[in-house]
């Protein structure tokens, strides 16, 4: 008699999924996914910013055009505003307080106008930088682009405005007997160095202003103090001749004073090297590199936080 046997069914387990056991981060890295809005490497960030150079230029030009679009005189206010400021300062400091201290009117008036125009370049760059992120949150949240494009664009806008105003500055210098000379060529490196410094400072203020929007209300007082300490209305070595030398040195080595004095040295015949601090070009270059590089890295480190919260 044959005997039939029945084998018990054997359970066969399904093969393990290839991604089983991986954490969310490991899974994302395996499939080449990255966090939305994550900060790129510094080199990649520079590459992205260079790729947006046409946007930066167009945005700065559009802002410059729109700045006085509601005024009847339009773009003339770019020149009229610093000229009116210079006229007020001349009345108060030149006539009432006699801050010229031995300078002839032919020297002091171009000296004063140059100081006002050059300092306004830095002042406007700082104020625009403070609001670069906090004042453009709609753009920051709607589009993906390197956020440094905004403060850089605003600094470029102020440079374009200064270049437009330089026509008047040249006219003032020539009107008081300071004619074009080889020294006027120095205007170009001065503007390049100051633009680099202003851009770095605008980047620093943009990050600070993005975190603390109220900083925009405080900065006018800071800038006014900086203006009075930088020799816009008076020559620091002449005005402080009876004070300890270190005070004049500290004030002259501050970047705003450095760039103003270099511009005066280039434009005004009688404003010689005796009015400049030692190693002035090295100091001017040092300020420019320190703030341009340091400000850029400082801004980049917070790239993923702009427009959030």
pLDDT tens digits along 226-255: 998 998 888 888 888 888 888 888 899 999
Q: What is the pLDDT of residue 298?
A: 97
**Counting beta carbons within 10 angstroms of the beta carbon of residue 77, is it exposed (0 to 12), middle (13 to 18) or buried (19 or more)?**
middle
CA angle, residues 267, 271, 277, in degrees to nearest 5: 110
Q: What is the pLDDT of residue 274?
A: 84
93 has pLDDT over 80: no
Q: What is the pLDDT of residue 70?
A: 64
String of b and e for 188-225 (b: at least 16 CB within 10 Å)? eebbebbbbbbbbbbbbbbbbbbeeeebbeebeeebee
What is the value of pTM for the model shown?
0.83
CB 219 within 8 A of CB 130: yes
């Amino acid at each position: 008699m044959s005997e039939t046997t029945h084998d018990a069914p054997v359970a066969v387990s399904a093969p393990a999924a290839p991604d089983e056991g991986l954490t969310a981060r490991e899974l994302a890295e395996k499939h080449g996914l990255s966090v939305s809005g994550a900060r790129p490497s510094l080199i990649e960030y520079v590459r992205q910013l260079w790729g947006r150079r046409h946007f930066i230029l167009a945005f700065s030009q559009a802002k410059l055009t729109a700045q006085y679009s509601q005024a009847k005189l339009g773009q003339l206010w770019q020149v009229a505003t610093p000229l009116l400021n210079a006229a007020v300062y001349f009345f108060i400091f030149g006539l009432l307080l006699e801050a010229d201290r031995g300078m002839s009117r032919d020297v002091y008036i171009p000296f004063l106008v140059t100081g006002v125009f050059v300092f306004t370049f830095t002042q406007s760059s700082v104020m625009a930088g403070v609001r670069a992120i906090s004042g453009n949150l709609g753009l920051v949240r709607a589009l993906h682009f390197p956020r440094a494009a905004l403060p850089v664009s605003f600094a470029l806008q102020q440079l374009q405005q200064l270049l437009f105003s330089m026509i008047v500055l040249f006219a003032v210098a020539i009107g008081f007997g300071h004619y074009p000379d080889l020294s006027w060529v120095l205007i170009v490196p001065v503007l390049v160095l100051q633009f680099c410094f202003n851009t770095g400072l605008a980047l620093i203020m943009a990050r600070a202003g993005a975190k603390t929007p109220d900083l925009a209300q405080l900065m006018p007082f800071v800038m006014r103090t900086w203006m009075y300490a930088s020799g816009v209305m008076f020559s620091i070595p002449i005005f402080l001749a009876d004070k300890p030398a270190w005070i004049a040195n500290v004030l002259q080595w501050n970047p705003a004073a450095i760039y103003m004095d270099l511009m005066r040295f280039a434009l005004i015949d009688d404003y010689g090297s005796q009015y400049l601090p030692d190693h002035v070009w090295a100091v001017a270059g040092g300020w420019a590199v320190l703030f341009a590089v340091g400000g850029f890295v400082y801004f980049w480190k917070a790239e993923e936080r702009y427009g959030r919260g």
